[in-house]
Each structure stands twice: as structure tokens, then as C-alpha cells.
Chains A and B, each alone.
Chain A
């Protein structure tokens, strides 16, 4: 865990000194002019325009399209960071971390590993919460966790590279309480370690249930899991 934080710090430092790089993930490049207040106001207006996105479209979690488009505080701050063309500054990073910390709920019986085989199915599945022209029906199929979109996990399938490779995760990191908590936090709300990261807040945003998180955790840590073979 300490190693991870050190790595994050080094990366952050490298980005600050490089100057002209992006904010690392999901931001404008340094050479670009941040948008004007008018542009931002028009973007908000168009996002909520009645003839743009279908504001009243019902969403799987309840609520409407408008709710999906409405930003919470973390999303607002991280949009500002993305539009600034600069890496996140220390004060903003602390604020995002604090918001993340406050959002994390731990299972009553402590962090436990579930069923790695179920976790494997979840990690691969891209189903769930998609709406637009063809809404996913959660009554017919359980929403997935989309981890493979961004990560390489077990090598029998090709994963993405937006996030680092998690192959042999448990084998390399072990399964101390410390590393289990670190991984749980990553899945629940990764902004606690990486403020304004590209990784979604699967727990805090209600995408994964407590049981699903336990199953995905097992996929990462169970010695029998294909991730560690």
C-alpha cells in the first residue's frame, strides 16, 4: 500500500514537472486555452435542454436522464480539473480525497472475499446501466462490473489498458488486511487514493452491491482465481 502511494506521488510529481502533459487522465492538454465562462454556461444549457438529451428517460436505478446528467460535487470538481489543462493541485486533491473518504461504507462483518468465479463473470460483463436507444433490463440480467474494459486481469481474455494490469494481483500483493482495504477502497471509491481518477466509483455510485464487490475482490485475491494462475 505504501508503495502504491509512493508511486502515485512520483507520477503526480512527474506530471507537474513535465508541464505540457495532460492532467494524466481525462483532461485537456496543457497547451490549450481553458474554455470561457460563456462556453461553460452554454454547455450546461445544452446538457439540460429539453430537445437535447431525453431528460425524462427513466433510468434503471430510478430517477431520470436529468439525474444522470446532474453532477455531484466530485464530478464538478473533476470537470474543473479536466478543463483547467493542469494537473490537480494539492488543495483540490485533498478535498476530493476527503469527499471520497466520507463516501466509503464497509461491510458490517469486515472486508471478506466472495466467490471468484462469480467475480470473473462480473469483471468481464459490460452489461448494466446503459440506456439511450436500448436500455439494459436489469430484471433480465445482473449488471456487470466492466473491469476488463480498462484492465488486463486473467490472461485468457484481452483486457484494456486505461488502467494498469491486474494480472497476478493477489499473488504479487498478498492478502494482508492492509491490501484488502486498499483494493476495497479502490473499487468503492478510487478517488480516495487517486483524486479525479478515470476509474469509476463502483461502490459510492451504487453500480456494484456489497456482495458483488466481495466477488470481484475474490477474483483479484483468491489463490484459486485465474487472475493468480
Chain B
């Protein structure tokens, strides 16, 4: 028993150092560097504990399962997702995730990563939106989270760079900004009530500040393993969690309203390295 533990320790240390040598492959390395550049940052430093589990982050296995699903011929049309265009050409995954949301001419819509993935599963593979492969959005066991984690990981360490070239992209980003500051509901909340100042806490949780891009990149780095929930969670899952606290009604996944909020939140992290997948409380 003791021998096992003694063997495990150097192995764990080795795993860490190997990952650290390969920045583009390791979310651990990206986060470590972000922390070293922001030593006194309260929000970022609460992730010290999470850092320890990062080399063995269960999301890495979720991503592995996602890779297999991505390459597998699936759906009524029996094709893989390798023909899906996430904005940088069919099958190009590197850097695609950090450039979403973006405008797609084939749908004449600004799409979040999630809505684009659904689009490809439906049009390319022939799934119906009601099939469980598409419909089940939450939990590490869902196809959507597996695929999302795998594809997002291909952008680890790259700067957030959502597209703002097309007028529709810009319009939605700007509307999302207004929505961030729009107060309503029985608590009079807007997003800025909790994310409009630096270093504030809700109970014990330090909140990320919208105007601090170094904090905000960690804030928007989803998918992430939520340690407390033992599951890999998506961007939309986080948006929904905050809207729930705000006492807002349910927001439909894939709606333009959701896209606007996500466009603004990605823009607020522009230029900062994405941690994909991340770990969170």
C-alpha cells in the first residue's frame, strides 16, 4: 500500500512536468502562467486547489471520448463530424472554438459553438433535434459535452478572438453588452451586480470582474470540470446558473438572446489565453 503511494507521487510529479513542457497541450500550463502573471488576483488565486487536480482532470477523459465520437461515422447518414465547418473550414478544429460565436453564411446566422455543433449533427449526420445524441446537453456522459470538450481543447492556450467582422456579429455583441447591464426581476439584478467590481464575493466565492480580461478568460473558459458537481459543464450551463440566481425565466438554448450574451462575454476576454478544459469550484 505504502509502496503504491510512494510510486504514485513521483508519477504525479512527472505528469505535471511533462504537461508543463507542452504549453499548447496543457490547460494546467496555461493556467499556471496566467496565475504567475497575476499573483495577487483574488479571483484567479482561488483556483489554487483546482490546479492540483488539473493534470488528472476527468474532462481530459471526456475529451478522449469526444475524439472517438467526432471521428466515428454516426447518425442516419452514417458520416463523421470531420466534414463540419466550425468557421475555419471543414474539419479544421485548431483555434475554431476561441473564434466563436461567429457568423455563418450557410445559415445566415451568428452561431455559438453549441448551436453550430447541433447544426452539423442535424444537417451532416441527419440526427433529429429530438434524438438523445443532440437533445441531451448536460453532464460528462452526454455526447454533446464529450464532443464540445474535445473540440474546445483544440483551442487551449489560444487567445479568445470571437469574430466581429460581420455586422450581425457586432450587433449581437453590442446587444449582449446592454443585456449585461439591464436590471430587472424581483432582485433588481443585472450581471454587473455581481461581476461589476473586482475582488467581491458572493458568500465564499470570489467573483470574476467583467473589465479585467485576465480574470474574465478564466471565467469564460468552459467546458470545465465543476469539482463540486463532478461533471464537465458548458458555457450555457454557466449562463443558466447565473440567470437562475437572477430570478430570470428560463432561457432557450441556441436562441439569439443566448448568443448575444455569449458574444459579449467572449469579447470581454479578448486576447487572453483560453484554458480548455478548465477546472472550477
Asked if B8 CB lies within 8 Å of chain A CBs, one says no
Task: Name the prevailing secondary structure of the A interface residues.
Answer: loop
Binds A, one of B30-38, B93-101, B150-158, B240-248: B240-248
Asked if B226 CB lies within 8 Å of chain A CBs, one says no
Chain B residues with Cβ under 8 A from A82's Cβ?
A: 181, 183, 190, 192, 196
Asked if A209 CB lies within 8 Å of chain B CBs, one says no
A27 → chain B closest CB, angstroms: 6
Which residue from chain A places its CB closest to the CB of B182 in the assembled complex? A79
B62 → chain A closest CB, angstroms: 22
B185, A83: Cβ atoms closer than 8 Å: no
Asked if B174 CB lies within 8 Å of chain A CBs, one says yes
Asked if B118 CB lies within 8 Å of chain A CBs, one says no
Asked if A212 CB lies within 8 Å of chain B CBs, one says no
Count of B interface residues, CB-CB < 8 Å: 45
Asked if A26 CB lies within 8 Å of chain B CBs, one says yes
Task: Tell me the complex Cα distance, A86–B266, Å.
Answer: 24
Asked if A95 CB lies within 8 Å of chain B CBs, one says no
Asked if B53 CB lies within 8 Å of chain A CBs, one says no
Within 8 A of B (CB), among A123-151: 126, 129-134, 146, 148-150
Chain B contacts to A: CB under 8 angstroms: 171-172, 174-179, 181-190, 192-194, 196-197, 199-204, 211, 240, 243-245, 247-252, 255-258, 260
B250, A131: Cβ atoms closer than 8 Å: yes
B251, A71: Cβ atoms closer than 8 Å: no
Given contact pairs A53-B252, A68-B249, A26 touches B177 in the complex (Cβ within 8 A): no
A39, B177: Cβ atoms closer than 8 Å: yes
Asked if A8 CB lies within 8 Å of chain B CBs, one says no
Asked if A40 CB lies within 8 Å of chain B CBs, one says yes
Binds B, one of A112-120, A156-164, A170-178: A156-164
Chain A contacts to B: CB under 8 angstroms: 22, 25-29, 35-36, 38-40, 42-43, 46-47, 49, 51-55, 57, 59, 61, 64-66, 68-71, 74-75, 78-79, 82-83, 126, 129-134, 146, 148-150, 158-162, 198, 200-201, 205-207
A133, B197: Cβ atoms closer than 8 Å: no
Partner of A39, one of B175, B192, B211, B256: B175
Partner of A61, one of B186, B188, B251, B255: B186
Given contact pairs A68-B247, A132-B248, A207-B187, A162 touches B202 in the complex (Cβ within 8 A): yes
A133, B240: Cβ atoms closer than 8 Å: yes
Partner of B188, one of A51, A55, A205: A205
B18 → chain A closest CB, angstroms: 37
**17 sample A-B contacts, Cβ–Cβ < 8 Å, listed by A number:** A25-B197, A35-B178, A42-B260, A43-B182, A49-B256, A52-B251, A52-B256, A54-B252, A61-B186, A68-B248, A69-B185, A75-B183, A75-B184, A83-B178, A129-B186, A205-B187, A206-B186
Chain A residues with Cβ under 8 A from B190's Cβ?
A: 26, 79, 82
Chain A residues with Cβ under 8 A from B245's Cβ?
A: 126, 130
A43 → chain B closest CB, angstroms: 4
Closest 4 CB pairs of A and B: A65-B249, A52-B257, A43-B178, A39-B174
Given contact pairs A36-B174, A70-B184, A162 touches B193 in the complex (Cβ within 8 A): yes
Chain A residues with Cβ under 8 A from B197's Cβ?
A: 22, 25, 162
Given contact pairs A49-B256, A54-B249, A27 touches B186 in the complex (Cβ within 8 A): no
B200, A161: Cβ atoms closer than 8 Å: yes
A79, B181: Cβ atoms closer than 8 Å: yes
Chain A residues with Cβ under 8 A from B188's Cβ?
A: 74-75, 78, 200-201, 205
A194 → chain B closest CB, angstroms: 12
B36 → chain A closest CB, angstroms: 26
A42, B186: Cβ atoms closer than 8 Å: no
Chain B residues with Cβ under 8 A from A53's Cβ?
A: 248-252, 257
B249, A150: Cβ atoms closer than 8 Å: no
Q: 8 new A-B pairs (CB below 8 Å) besides A47-B179, A83-B178?
A: A25-B193, A35-B177, A70-B184, A71-B183, A79-B190, A132-B243, A160-B201, A162-B202
Which residue from chain B places its CB closest to the CB of A191 in the assembled complex? B188
